[in-house]
Amino acid sequence: MSDPKIPRGEFDPDDLLHLSAKRILVTGGAGFLGSHLCAALLKQGHEVLCADNFFTGRRGNLRHLLGNPRFEVMRHDVTFPLYAEVDEIYNLACPASPFHYQHDPVQTTKTAVHGAINMLGLAKRVGARILQASTSEIYGDPQVHPQTEDYVGYVNPIGKRSCYDEGKRCAETLFFDYHRQHGIEIKVARIFNTYGPNMHPDDGRVVSNFIMQALAGEPITIYGKGDQTRSFCFVSDLIDGLMRLMGSPSEVTGPINLGNPVELSIRQLAETIIRMTGSTSKLVFETLPQDDPIKRQPDITRARNLLDWTPKVQLEEGLETTIEYFSKIVAATQGAAERK
């Protein structure tokens, strides 16, 4: 006869599905990309520890995940060491929009550099594989088009954008030095413009700016003549690329460009959003900011060959979902204002 004082665990058949699950740390996990990554990892059955200092990340991005017993949220700034037992680390922590990273440029550089040092130190201590969310800003205002991973960039080290550009470049240096010196398993992804739900409506990025202005019927602000180009990748495609890179053989370190190679001008993007929202907004043109890249298009040959990855979501399909997301925010905001 069993002793009633001895607790008996309840067996859940779903536990068998998670015997090979990993414990994964996502820094910046409450941000735009981080929240989508956390959701995708949980869907695969992993345990996820989300670390975020909530400077740009938002708890609302995680609301639908909080009831999951395999998900944990920790308020933490990566400029300080973090101690946890994990199998993999996705280092996404850092403001990514010019509006946010120029707000406190010193802290931005600290986040990129000290954050990389602390996460690499954790990876070294626990033997974890670690992925760095780097950026197309590594290339600066590129003199090579489209941008391949062996292009070393054309970056102003003392400009207003350099806190982010050079911070991310230094982080890549640290990753490869830790790999060579300590044998850390690293993955480096250079992320190009990405958009989709969970973007902050006021983060200053071009897609969110244009959609919010169009929904409000306000003039759409274009810097320069609007002939500068970008390539926009929908968030689900980008997350798939990150996870494929993390799961690739150890000899695949990167850097690997992740982005949509379809290039269009900023003016074309604005006109597309006006048409899709049915907006009456007009275009207004202002001075181009310092060091704003004129052309941006990824060469994704490496991603195709090494990860069997290519974006699947077409621009208008992704914009439709993103416009719907921002429309709900606008409606909720207006409803709250009316109730006051």
Q: Is 221 exposed, middle or buried (0-12, 13-18, 19+ CB in 10 A)?
A: middle
Domains and CATH numbers, the chain: 20-331 (3.40.50.720)
Q: State the pLDDT at residue 116.
A: 98
**164 catalytic, yes or no?**
yes
Q: pLDDT-based confidence at 295, cuts 50/70/90?
A: confident
3-state secondary structure of 7: coil
Please report the pLDDT score of residue 1 as a whole number.
Answer: 47
> Which residue, among 137, 126, 121, has the nearest Cα to 174 in the 3D structure?
121
- Cα–Cα nearest to 210, from 283, 128, 259: 283
For residues 124 and 135, give the distance between their C-alpha atoms in angstroms, rounded to a whole number. 23
| Other beta carbons within 10 Å of 74 | 14
DSSP string for 71-96: EEEEE--TTS------SEEEE--S--
Q: How far is CA 30 from CA 100, 178, 220, 328, in A?
A: 15, 27, 28, 20
Q: Which residue has the tokens 């911070």?
A: 167
CA angle 69, 22, 149 (to 5 degrees): 125
> pLDDT, tens digit, for every residue of 62-116?
999 999 999 999 999 999 999 999 999 999 999 876 767 777 899 999 999 999 9
Helix 206-216 with 266-277: angle, nearest 10 deg: 40
- Cβ within 8 Å of residue 156, ≥6 positions away: 140, 141, 162, 165, 290, 291
Catalytic residue among 90, 101, 164, 178: 164
Mean pLDDT of the chain: 91
CB atoms within 10 A of CB 94: 29
Calpha distance 82→320 (Å, rounded):
39
Identity (one letter) of the amino acid at 238?
L
Distances in whole angstroms, Cα of residue 33 to Cα of each of 11, 49, 141, 308: 34, 15, 24, 21
What is the pTM assigned to this prediction?
0.90
* pLDDT grade for 24, boundaries at 50, 70 and 90: very high
